[in-house]
Structure formats: C-alpha cells, structure tokens
Copies of this chain bind each other. A is one copy, B any other.
Amino acid sequence: MLDTPNQEKTQLSELGEFALINRLTSSIKLSNKSTLEGVGDDAAIINHSGYETLVSKDLLVEGVHFDLSYVPLKHLGYKAVVVNISDIYAMNGIPTQIIAGLAVSNRFPVEALEEIYEGMLLACNNYKVDLVGGDTTSSASGMMLSITAIGKVKKGNVVKRSGAKPKDLLVVSGDLGSAYMGLQVLEREKAAFKSNPNLQPELQGHEYVLERQLKPEARKDIIELLKNLKVSPTSMIDISDGLSSEIMHLCKSSDLGCTIYEDKIPMDPQMIRLAEEFGINPITAVLNGGEDYELLFTISMGDYDKIKHNPSLTAIGHMTDSKPIQLITNADQAIELEAQGWKAF
C-alpha cells in the first residue's frame, strides 16, 4: 500500500490535528493569480473577475471506488484530483483550485496521508491547479476522499450538457473501455494472489489498460485542441460512468435522441484482446465500464472537416430529433441504450 514500505511509520495519534495539517500542506505551491488565499484560514479566497466560476465535487470511498490492495496511495491522490478537474474541462472551463477532504481511520500512518497528498499535489502541478484548503479528519473505518474542484470559464464560453441540436455529430476523444479492462486485470490478479500468496502478479503486456485505470488523465489537451481548431462543442460531458450513461445524459438534457455506430467507436487493440480473453464483448466494456475520463461532445456538421483527420477525435454518431437513443451494432442490429450509473448499493 505504501510506496516505500520500509520507511518509518508515524502513528496519526502521535501528531495533533494542526501538526498533521502543517505536515501535509507545507509543500503546497500556488500557481494561479486568482488564488488570493489558500490553506490556512476559515475559507480560501478566489478572484475570478470577469469569469464565471465552476464548482464540482466527487467522493471516492474505499471499498466502493478504490481497493487499496492494488491501488497505490499516490495514484489514488492523483486520480482523485484528475476525476474532479475532468468535470471542469467538460464544461469547457479551466480548473484553477481544488479543496480536499480526507477521512481516514487510524490504521493509516501519517506517511500514508503524505503519499496521498503527494499524488494530489503532482496532479495539481501537472494541471496548474492550486490546492487551497480542505478538511482532514478521522473515520470510524476506511478511507474517503472528497474533492471539490473550482474552475473558471469566460462568459458565454460554457458548454453544457443541454446544447446539442438535431443532426449534430457525437464525438469522443481518445479510446474507450480500457480503464474497465484495467480493473478486470487488477481484480483477477488480486483473486490469484488470494488463492496463492506466492504468485507474482501477471501485469506485463497490460501496461496501457492498467495506466488507464490507475493513473487516468483529464483531457485538458482536447479543450485546448478544440480552441485551436476553432470548434465550439454544442454540448459536452466527461465519460466517468460509461459511454451509455453519458450519452443518455446528453440526450436527456438536450431533449433529443441519437444513433451511434459500434464500428466507429475507438477501442485500443490491447483492450479488445483482453476483453476477448475475459469473455467480455468489448462494446460492453465501452458502454458500461466507465472511468475513461474521455470527453464526449457534440459539434455541428459544419465543423466536421476541422476534426475529421485528428487522431484524438472520433465521430461515433449523430443526434436525432427524437427517441430512440440507439446503437447500430456491427451485425447491423439497432439496440436501445440503457442508463447504468452506479449500482453499488
């Protein structure tokens, strides 16, 4: 669990609240002019003069969203930040600050919290986001991270879920389904380890899907690319739950239907091979898997020429006046999509 297992461990009870907070926040550097005050007062102070402020929150709960038996703590901190700022990019915004809550039971030493912070601050640094405050507390059992991301967007530039028009093209960035297959590999190796603790995990050859699961990135580059290409998405969402749910959200918010095509959907060869190995239809991993953190957006037909040769962007279908919300399979069958969301309860 700890990246540096031989390091000396400090029990949380040895430090008081204030010493712990000092230790965790001492390496924070601020990089946004809009951050007037960060950690250290009752609230952080932000100046987004001339911009609108975006705010988004995600909770990550141990045993529900992550399993510390195979997720390194630094990766967990990194991912917690990334999944939140991904929501800000999905509004066509620029993330500027995060505020981080961390509840941990006393089974974690101080060094564990420091690794989480290290991961969070690495993500903050990569995306030029300031960690400006938070709350660190104990929990009766388990660990929970609660991240609130704050961003800015110029007036008139926000892209909501609700702006899609009939005939708009549906476009996705990157490829889909890999984060889910990465999770399957980790779960398989965990089960193998449980039945025989002497087994070495077989992770070789699965680097791409594992990285997609353990260290996802938010598509800041796509927001910049669209700006450079002078493409204004009419609606946008990030793919956290699986393509099916996200398409449903766009259609519902925009009050439209859509048709997407299985043969258009970008999938990585490693993901397809693994899906077959696991006896999973790759399209199922794409539709219901989730955690890809790619962007799904709609553009007007007139913008298609600007994106059609870009390897990072793929048109997968188009919006329609009314229902259904359907997928045309490789066998030329039309199937209606269903919302998934979590079913963790």
Give A contacts to B, CB under 8 Å: 11-13, 16-18, 36-37, 40-50, 52-59, 61-65, 87-88, 90-91, 93, 97, 99-103, 106, 132-135, 137-142, 144, 146, 148-151, 153, 155, 158, 160-162, 236-238, 253, 339, 341-345
Contact = CB atoms under 8 A, between A and B. Distances in A.
A47 B155 CA distance: 9
A292 to B, nearest CB: 15
Contacts of A101: 57-59, 146
Question: How many chain copies does the complex carry?
Answer: 2
A54 B132 CA distance: 10
Given A49-B50, A57-B135, A342 B42 contact: no
B135 A103 contact: no
A54 B45 CA distance: 5
A342 B62 contact: no
Given A103-B144, A106-B345, A345-B12, A43 B59 contact: no
Nearest to A155: B47
Nearest to A342: B17
A39 B171 CA distance: 25
Contact of A59 (B48, B61, B93, B137): B137
Contacts of A54: 43-46
Contact of A16 (B88, B151, B341): B341
A99 B17 contact: no
A148 B343 contact: no
